[in-house]
Structure 1
C-alpha cells in the first residue's frame, strides 16, 4: 500500500504544477488585456477574438488555480476562533468542512455540468460573435477542470487531516 505522505505529496505536486500554469496564464492574460486596450484606444482597432482570449484565460486562471489555492489555504475562512485552536482541532474542523461541504458541492458541480460540457463538445461549440474564437467547448470544459483540480486537492487535504488527527507521522 502506498504511504499516505506519498500520495498526498503527489497530489500537491499536481496542484503546484497547475499553480505554475495559472501564473503563466495570468501573465499572458494581463499582456493580452493591455494589448486590447492599446489597439482599441491607441489605434482604434478592435478584435473580438483577442477580447475573448482574455476572457478564456480569466476563466482558466480561476478554475485551474483553485486546487493550488486550497493547497495554500488561500480560500476564504473566518479565522476569529480557528487561528487560536490546536492543530488537531483545526484538522477536525477542516475535515468536517471538506467532507460535508466541499466534497458534496464538487460532486454536484461535476454531475450537473457533465452533460452541459459534453453537448458543447458534440457541437464543437464556438463563439456566437463574428470573429470570435471557435473554442467555447474548451472554455466550458474548465468547469470540469475546476472540479478535478479541487477534488484532487480535497483528497490530499482529507488525507492530511486524517494524518494529523491520528497523530501519525507522514
Structure 2
C-alpha cells in the first residue's frame, strides 16, 4: 500500500515537473513579444493589438500552468514562523491539514466557479474583446481549469507524502520529493 502511495506521489510530481519545465519557456516568448511591441511602438510608431494581447495571454498561460510546479518546489508564499523550524513530522502534519482544509476546497471552488465560464467561452469560441485582438481566448480560459487541476493534484501528492512521513515510509520517495532537511535543498535539486 505504501509503495502505491509513493508511486502516486512520483507520478503527480513528475507531471508537474514536466508541465512546469515546458511552460516556463513561455517566459522567453513573453520577453521577446513584449520587447518587439515596445520597439515597434517607440521606434517605428506601429502598434498591433494582437501582439499586446499575445504577451498578456502568454503570461496568463505560463503562470497558471506552472503553479503546480511551484507548489512542488515549495516556491509559494507561506508563513514560515512555525513551519521553517519545525521537524519533518510537524511539517507533514501542517501540510496534511493545509491541503485538506484549505488547498483542496479552494481548488474545488476555483474549478466549480470557472467551469461555466470556460464552457461559455468554448460554446462561442470567444476571442479578444479588442478590435484586431487575438482569437482563441477560450483556450486561454481553459488554463484556469488546468491551474486548479495541477494545484489540486500537487496538493494530493503533498498529502500522500505527509502520510508516508507520518507512517515512517518517507524512504520510499526519491530524495528530491522528500521534505528538505535544509531550506535551500529543493531549489538545488530541481533547478
TM-score (norm 1): 0.96
Superposition deviation, residue 81 in structure 1: 2.0
Query: What corresponds to 2:91 in structure 1?
Result: 90
In 2, Cα distance between equivalents of 1:146 and 1:85: 29
Q: In the TM superposition, what whole-angstrom CA distance separates every residue of 1:23-59 from its partner, at most 9, and x where no partner exists?
A: 2101111111111101111111101111101011110
Structure 1 runs (4+) greater than 4 angstroms displaced = none
Is 2:137 the partner of 1:136? yes
Stretches of structure 1 lacking an aligned partner (at least 5 in a row): none
Q: Which residue of 1 aligns with 2:162?
A: 161
| Mapping for residues 1-170 of structure 1, pairs under 5 Å | 3-168=4-169, 169-170=171-172
> Equivalents in 1 of 2:155, 2:134: separation in Å?
33
- Cα deviation 1:96-134 (Å, max 9, x = unaligned): 011100100000111111111001000101112111111
What secondary structure does 2:61 align onto? helix
Distance in structure 1 (CA, Å) of the matches to 2:90 and 2:130: 52
Length-normalised TM-score, structure 2: 0.86
What is the aligned-residue RMSD (CA, Å)? 1.1
Work out the CA distance in 2 between the residues paired with 1:77 and 1:119.
35
